């Protein structure tokens, strides 16, 4: 008797937040991320017989959401959601004021990373894909994934540590 495939509702319940957080880290905007992930889940639902057989259905959803983002980006290039450096400067204060569920300092640091490093961080750390799966989603080699991961962590450390240390009481 083969392994029973999960029910779609069960899959959605268990993976929706992880997929949303992953896409959020990559696209940098909560509303866009939610819209993209909702549509990607709907497509997964529509093709559930196929998607449920995928080795990593959550990766399928994230990949679909990112592809949708590309399409949208092509259609509306003037509305690229990632903030420019000027906006980033004001992000922490603005986000804190709005009681954002996202840690503003870390999100700002993530958004300052090069796109590919941010994608690797999102897939590896938020979606918990392994190096090989991350490489497959991004279409790069596992070695490149590891290199991006190392650079991203180094960049985040140098970006965040001074800020976090400043917060510590002297």
Partner 1 sequence: MNDQELITAVRQSVRGVRMNVPAEQIVSRGRAIRAGGHRRLAAGITAVAAAGSVALGLGLSGAPGATPSAGAGPAPGAGPIRAAGTAPGAGPIRTAAFTLTRNANRTDTLTLTMNQMLDPAVLQQALERDGIPALVKTGIYCWSSPAAPDPASIGVLSVRLPVKPPHVMVPAPSGPAPGELKQLAARTVTVINPGAMPSGTELFFGYSSSIHALFTDLIYTRSHTCGNGLPSGGPAGS
Among 5, 6, 30, 147, binds partner 1 (CB under 8 A): 30
147 sits near partner 1 (criterion: CB under 8 A)? no
Q: How many residues lie near partner 1 (CB under 8 A)?
A: 65
45: its two tokens: 């639902």
Label residue 132 exposed, middle or buried (CB < 10 Å: 0-12, 13-18, 19+): exposed
163 sits near partner 1 (criterion: CB under 8 A)? no
The DSSP secondary structure of 38-77, one letter per residue, reads HHHHHHHHHTHHHHTTSS-HHHHHHHHHHHHHHHHHHH-G
Q: How many CB atoms lie within 10 A of CB 111?
A: 21
72 sits near partner 1 (criterion: CB under 8 A)? yes
Report the interface residues with partner 1, using CB under 8 A: 8-9, 12-13, 16-17, 19-21, 24-28, 30, 34-35, 37-39, 41-46, 48, 63, 66-68, 70-78, 80-82, 101-103, 106-107, 110, 114-116, 119, 121, 125-126, 137-139, 153, 156-157, 160-161, 164
């Amino acid at each position: 008797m083969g392994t029973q495939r999960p029910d779609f509702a069960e899959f959605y319940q268990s993976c929706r937040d992880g997929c949303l957080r992953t896409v959020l880290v990559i696209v940098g905007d909560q509303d866009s991320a939610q819209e993209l992930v909702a549509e990607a889940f709907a497509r997964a639902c529509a093709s559930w017989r196929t998607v449920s057989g995928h080795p990593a259905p959550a990766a399928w959803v994230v990949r679909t959401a990112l592809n949708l983002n590309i399409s949208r980006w092509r259609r509306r290039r003037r509305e690229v959601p990632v903030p420019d450096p000027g906006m980033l400067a004001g992000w922490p204060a603005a986000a804190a004021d709005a009681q954002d569920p996202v840690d503003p300092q870390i999100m700002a640091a993530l958004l300052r990373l090069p796109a590919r490093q941010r994608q690797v961080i999102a897939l590896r750390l938020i979606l918990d894909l392994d190096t090989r799966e991350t490489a497959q989603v991004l279409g790069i080699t596992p070695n490149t994934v590891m290199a991006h991961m190392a650079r991203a962590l180094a960049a985040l450390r140098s970006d965040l540590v001074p800020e976090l240390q400043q917060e510590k009481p002297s």
